[in-house]
């Protein structure tokens, strides 16, 4: 069969029976890869590599995974009347999750780098390690905006800002798609509700959806993402899995999306069992497919879809639209022409030295220095004894969710815990002592410095109402919902962490707190009592080495906060790009200001921005400036531009990130830099919900965080053109 993917898909569709078509819109999941009980006629499979490691002393190798997926693909092709290959899929939030692949920093870490080019390199490796074994679609990236950090899945996101999330999500999609792996941004759309409650009904207005929530999704499709995952929740009265306004009117009609839509796991069943908008599962299937969803995951829904057709809930002609989109994607991927992978090449590719090196390099860019009263970086010379405390000190800092294959903890032969990395760094030159909370007063006073590593339970199914560090508790994820693919995580906190930090600070004045978490925590009980604090998030398999380098000045920290850090849960939701209040922002016992603002992060060196200027052309502006590293160490600064607006047709946010650049400078080096603020930065939806450069006055603020600006420029928009005031 020759021709374009579109032509080949149309030709094949014309030859298919109704049953063949129905199989293409349904998937199946295989928990036990050694049993052949799933229906090979289904068109979309959860790849068996995800489950191959359960119960084994040694996890399955990349070559073994490739062989098993090849077998799965062959069984499917052989069973199909028209030999249609399946799409083998899986997760890949910060590494290919079918096995022991290269484990990169979590998405919240990657966003902290403010470096889309680096993120695209990470995605390129993830794409290579997926394709190497035959995983051709991944349910990544998560581009929901984390605007309430109580949401347990904040760790999976790129933070609270629409532009930063759009840039990071687009970079991830480009890196995946260039390797023949379909990117599937999720969860479309507003995937959690007030209080950070996962998958709860969204009461977000269409204006807010278009101004913020949908922005990263659109950027992902412009970057080439060929699929999208519908969210569990409902919006504007309709469940997202059957929301025609989202899946057809906006996605396809306005944006011209030509890919296919998949459900979240059990999302279509939720129309019947949770949202109760459908009278039966057959009706739920019909409602979703007619609205624009194309693949029902994770289990086979052949009977339900067949009933829907027989009852007239959906016609075969309507079903053809869904099937055509899936077939086009399969032809574009080359699945018909090259369905199998080389196990030997997979073995050579996955976690090769180059990939592990990138895991280290990316981790170096993702760790944030929050506080430093002059004790960091510590000098290796003269250190005789280091005290290490906290349960996370002896865990590989990768995070619990989406960090390895199902049923087996991620393992790497070159991935140390922080404790191991410190001992590796010092060798015989100093003693690195690991103590429990009970040992603080005994060990800490005799140390040159002490480190405390925090622990917290979070992730899918683990939303929080309290932002303080947990103490003396047992917490386990629910075994349902996300438990289908995410292990039931369990963590026992054996001490009062806040109390331990305070005791440690009293016992040793050189106390450094290292946060290992996926979302902001309440630090008010102890942040004023310690001289240094580091936000490491979960920096991945090589993150402990990167952290050690930063603590001892081998690497200069440069990352910035992609989230606003509140003082307490009582301030939430708290985001920097809020819209003006009619009166004020504070509570009677709180000034309303964050503990640390969006875009904030310290360095061991200092920078000076000078000689700034602006030039305007039509509806675009360019800010130029000179930046100098005025300190004694090499380092990088993330320069940021924010836009505030007034005199517009509608209320606009007090400020929004519109441009940024990560700039590395040697000590004493200066550079002339220009940042372009494009037309979209000045455009907004007017009262009639028309998007464009409408009249208004805009202030561009140049600085190093959302609260630290050094220069501003006034511009006026009139009749679609900008002029400087």
CA angle 154, 183, 213 (to 5 degrees): 45
- Do 549 and 647 lie in one domain? The reply is no
- Do 397 and 476 lie in one domain? The reply is yes
Give the model's confidence band at 475: pLDDT under 50 very low, under 70 low, under 90 confident, else very high.
Answer: low
Note the pLDDT tens digit of each residue in 555-614. Answer: 999 999 999 999 999 999 999 999 998 877 888 888 889 999 999 999 999 999 999 999
Give the model's confidence band at 489: pLDDT under 50 very low, under 70 low, under 90 confident, else very high.
Answer: low
Tokens of 237: 């009265």
Q: Cα(316)–Cα(293) distance, rounded to whole angstroms?
A: 15
CATH number at residue 448: 3.40.50.1700
| Helix, strand, coil abundance in the chain, percent, nearest 5 | 30, 20, 45
- Do 559 and 615 lie in one domain? The reply is no
* Helices assigned H by DSSP within 292-374: 302-310, 316-333, 343-349, 353-364
* In the chain, % of residues over pLDDT 90: 89
In a domain, 455, yes or no: yes
Give the model's confidence band at 481: pLDDT under 50 very low, under 70 low, under 90 confident, else very high.
Answer: very low
Give the model's confidence band at 382: pLDDT under 50 very low, under 70 low, under 90 confident, else very high.
Answer: confident
Q: What pLDDT score does 695 carry?
A: 97
CA distances from 390 to 289, 376, 476 (A): 50, 20, 19
464 vs 696 pLDDT, higher one: 696
In a domain, 164, yes or no: no
Q: What pLDDT score does 476 carry?
A: 52
- Do 434 and 561 lie in one domain? The reply is yes
- Do 431 and 543 lie in one domain? The reply is yes
Between strands 511-515 and 532-535, the pairing is parallel
- Residue 479 pLDDT > 50: no
Kindly report the three-state secondary structure assignment for every residue of 243-256: CHHHHHHHHHHHCC
Tell me the sheet residues that pair with 227: 260
In a domain, 230, yes or no: no
Residues 6+ apart with CB under 8 A from 529: 501, 502, 505
* Helices assigned H by DSSP within 383-464: 418-426, 440-443
Q: Which residues form the domain of 493?
A: 365-571
State mean pLDDT over 704-712. Answer: 97
Q: How many helices and strands in the chain, by DSSP H and E? A: 19, 29
- Do 555 and 701 lie in one domain? The reply is no
In a domain, 474, yes or no: yes
In a domain, 223, yes or no: no
Q: Cα(179)–Cα(189) distance, rounded to whole angstroms?
A: 26
Note the pLDDT tens digit of each residue in 240-257. Answer: 999 999 999 999 999 999
Note the pLDDT tens digit of each residue in 67-101. Answer: 999 999 999 999 999 999 999 999 999 999 999 99
- Residue 404 pLDDT > 90: no
Q: Cα(425)–Cα(415) distance, rounded to whole angstroms?
A: 14
Q: What pLDDT score does 461 carry?
A: 82
Neighbours of 669 (CB within 10 A): 13
Q: What pLDDT score does 583 carry?
A: 75
Q: What pLDDT score does 387 carry?
A: 98
In a domain, 233, yes or no: no
- Residue 394 pLDDT > 60: yes
- Do 562 and 673 lie in one domain? The reply is no
* Residues across the chain: 725
Provide the whole-model pTM.
0.97
- Let me know if 6 is exposed, middle or buried by CB neighbors in 10 A (0-12, 13-18, 19+): middle
Note the pLDDT tens digit of each residue in 642-691. Answer: 999 999 999 999 999 999 999 999 999 999 999 999 999 999 999 999 99
- Let me know if 132 is exposed, middle or buried by CB neighbors in 10 A (0-12, 13-18, 19+): buried
Q: Cα(125)–Cα(638) distance, rounded to whole angstroms?
A: 25
Domain boundary among 525, 553, 571: 571
Q: Among candidates 145, 157, 140, 163, which has minimal Cα distance to 225? A: 140
In a domain, 221, yes or no: no
- Residue 488 pLDDT > 60: no
Total domain count, the chain: 2
- Do 430 and 524 lie in one domain? The reply is yes
In a domain, 553, yes or no: yes
Q: What value does the mean pLDDT of the chain take?
A: 95
* In the chain, % of residues over pLDDT 70: 98
- Do 459 and 511 lie in one domain? The reply is yes
- Do 536 and 621 lie in one domain? The reply is no
- Do 443 and 522 lie in one domain? The reply is yes
CATH number at residue 635: 2.60.40.10
Q: What pLDDT score does 474 carry?
A: 60
Q: What pLDDT score does 317 carry?
A: 97
- Do 415 and 532 lie in one domain? The reply is yes
Note the pLDDT tens digit of each residue in 177-233. Answer: 999 999 999 999 999 998 999 999 999 999 999 999 999 999 999 999 999 999 999
Note the pLDDT tens digit of each residue in 7-45. Answer: 999 999 999 999 999 999 999 987 877 776 789 999 999
Note the pLDDT tens digit of each residue in 114-171. Answer: 999 999 999 999 999 999 999 999 999 999 999 999 999 999 999 999 999 999 999 9
- Residue pair 639/704 in contact (Cβ under 8 Å)? The answer is yes
Q: What pLDDT score does 244 carry?
A: 98
- Residue pair 595/524 in contact (Cβ under 8 Å)? The answer is yes
């Amino acid at each position: 069969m020759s021709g374009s993917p579109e032509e080949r898909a149309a030709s094949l569709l014309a030859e298919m029976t109704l049953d063949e078509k129905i199989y293409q819109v349904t998937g199946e999941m295989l928990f036990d890869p050694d049993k052949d009980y799933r229906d090979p006629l289904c068109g979309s499979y959860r790849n068996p590599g995800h489950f191959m490691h359960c119960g084994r002393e040694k996890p399955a190798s990349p070559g073994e995974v490739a062989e098993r997926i090849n077998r799965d693909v062959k069984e499917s092709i052989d069973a199909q009347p028209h030999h249609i290959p399946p799409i083998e899929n899986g997760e890949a939030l910060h590494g290919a999750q079918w096995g022991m692949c290269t484990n990169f920093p979590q998405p919240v870490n990657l966003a902290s780098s403010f470096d889309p080019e680096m993120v695209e390199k990470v995605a390129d490796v993830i794409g290579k390690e997926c394709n190497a074994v035959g995983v051709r679609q991944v349910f990544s990236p998560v581009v929901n905006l984390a605007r309430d950090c109580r949401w347990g899945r904040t760790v999976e996101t790129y933070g609270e800002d629409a532009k930063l999330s759009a840039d990071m999500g687009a970079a991830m999609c480009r890196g995946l798609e260039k390797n023949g792996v379909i990117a599937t941004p999720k969860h479309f759309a507003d995937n959690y509700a007030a209080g950070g409650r996962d998958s709860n009904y969204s009461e977000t207005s269409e204006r807010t959806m278009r101004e913020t929530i949908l922005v990263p999704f659109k950027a992902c499709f412009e970057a080439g993402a060929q699929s999208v995952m519908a969210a569990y929740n409902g919006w504007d009265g309709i469940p997202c899995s059957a929301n025609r306004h989202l899946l057809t009117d906006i996605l396809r009609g306005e944006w011209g999306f030509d890919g296919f839509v998949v459900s979240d796991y059990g999302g279509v069943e939720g129309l019947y069992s949770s949202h109760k908008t459908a009278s039966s599962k057959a009706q739920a299937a019909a409602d979703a497919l007619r609205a624009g969803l194309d693949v029902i995951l994770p289990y086979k829904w052949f009977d339900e879809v067949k009933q829907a057709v027989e009852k007239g809930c959906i016609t075969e002609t309507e079903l053809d639209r869904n099937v055509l989109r899936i077939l086009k994607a399969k032809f574009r991927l080359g699945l018909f022409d090259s369905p199998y992978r080389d196990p030997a090449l997979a073995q050579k590719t996955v976690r090769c030295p180059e990939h592990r090196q990138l895991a280290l390099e990316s981790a170096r860019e993702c760790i944030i220095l929050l506080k430093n009263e002059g004790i960091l970086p510590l000098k290796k010379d003269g250190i005789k004894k280091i005290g290490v405390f906290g349960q996370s000190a002896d865990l590989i800092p990768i995070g619990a969710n989406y960090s390895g294959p199902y049923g087996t903890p991620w393992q790497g032969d070159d991935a140390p815990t922080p404790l191991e990395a410190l001992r590796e760094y010092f060798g015989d030159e100093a003693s690195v002592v690991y103590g429990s909370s009970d040992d603080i007063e005994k060990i800490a006073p005799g140390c040159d410095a002490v480190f405390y590593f925090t622990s917290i339970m979070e992730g899918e199914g683990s939303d929080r109402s309290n932002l303080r560090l947990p103490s003396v508790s047992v917490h386990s994820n629910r075994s349902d919902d996300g438990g289908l693919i995410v292990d039931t995580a369990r963590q026992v906190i054996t001490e009062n962490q806040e109390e331990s930090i305070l005791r440690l600070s009293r016992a040793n004045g050189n106390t450094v707190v290292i946060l290992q978490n996926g979302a902001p925590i309440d630090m008010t009980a102890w942040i004023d009592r310690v001289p240094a604090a580091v936000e490491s998030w979960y920096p991945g398999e090589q993150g402990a080495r990167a952290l050690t380098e930063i603590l001892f000045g081998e690497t200069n920290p440069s990352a910035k906060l992609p989230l606003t850090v509140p003082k307490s849960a009582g301030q939430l939701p708290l985001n920097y790009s809020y819209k003006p209040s009619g009166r004020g922002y504070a509570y009677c016992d709180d000034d309303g200001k964050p503990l640390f603002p969006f875009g904030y992060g310290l360095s061991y060196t200092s920078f000076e921005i000078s000689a700034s200027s602006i030039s305007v052309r039509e509806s675009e502006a360019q800010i130029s400036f000179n930046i100098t590293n005025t300190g004694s160490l090499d380092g990088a600064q993330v320069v940021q531009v924010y836009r505030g607006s007034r005199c517009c047709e509608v209320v606009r946010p007090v400020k929004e990130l519109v441009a940024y650049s990560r700039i590395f400078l040697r000590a004493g080096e200066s550079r002339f830099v220009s940042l372009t603020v494009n037309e979209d930065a000045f455009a907004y939806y007017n009262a009639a919900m028309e998007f464009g450069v409408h009249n208004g006055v805009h202030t561009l603020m140049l600085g190093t965080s959302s609260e630290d600006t050094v220069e501003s420029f006034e511009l006026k928009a009139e009749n679609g053109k900008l002029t400087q005031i």
